[in-house]
Amino acid sequence: MSEEQTPRGLIDLVTRSLGEKTSYVFLAAVGLTFYEVILRYFFNAPTTWVHEISIALTATAFIIAGSYTMQRRDHIRISLVIDLMPPGVRHWLNILNLIIMIYFLTALAYGAALQAGKALSVMERTGTASDLPLPVTIKTLLFVGVVLMILQGVVQLWRTVAGRE
């Protein structure tokens, strides 16, 4: 693990811990999908709920993976232009990138909060045969995940401005 990836504060520790624990959710989704395939093709007894749960589990893992990837600095970047720049310019481009990212994530958090609020007010459900409360859960988790990404971005911006990254 490089120095950049080592958790150095509370936000880093929370992000890293949640990300590592949430990675097992992908395994659960694969297991449920395997269960569905066995029931459907070997016993001719498909379920009505496995697909919805698998999608919700995968969405949950992806939501948390955003801040985890940011903490590790493993997110995808198009570094061709930045790598050609001298270190001083690269430093300021990284700061600008983090500011734009935090602005975008703040707007996304606002929209997610509105959607989560509406979903919570009516306890929005899937409307399918199983009628699970997945929309309210995923919309609320999206808001939480985006706030965690904002916090991770602010930590990285602080460290970058202070010259620690």
| pLDDT score at 1 | 47
What are the structure tokens assigned to 68, written together?
């985890």
Tens-place pLDDT, residues 124-137:
998 888 888 999 99
Tens-place pLDDT, residues 79-109:
788 888 898 998 998 899 999 999 999 999 9
The b/e string for 61-94 (b: 16+ C-beta within 10 A; e otherwise) is: bebbbbbbbbbbeeeeeeeeeeeeeeeeeeeeeb
Q: DSSP label at 73?
A: T
pLDDT under 70: residue ranges of the chain? 1-5, 7, 165
| pLDDT score at 127 | 85
| pLDDT score at 165 | 67
| pLDDT score at 48 | 85
pTM (two decimals): 0.85
Task: Tell me the domain boundaries of the chain.
Answer: 3-76+85-161
What are the structure tokens assigned to 12, written together?
């880093």
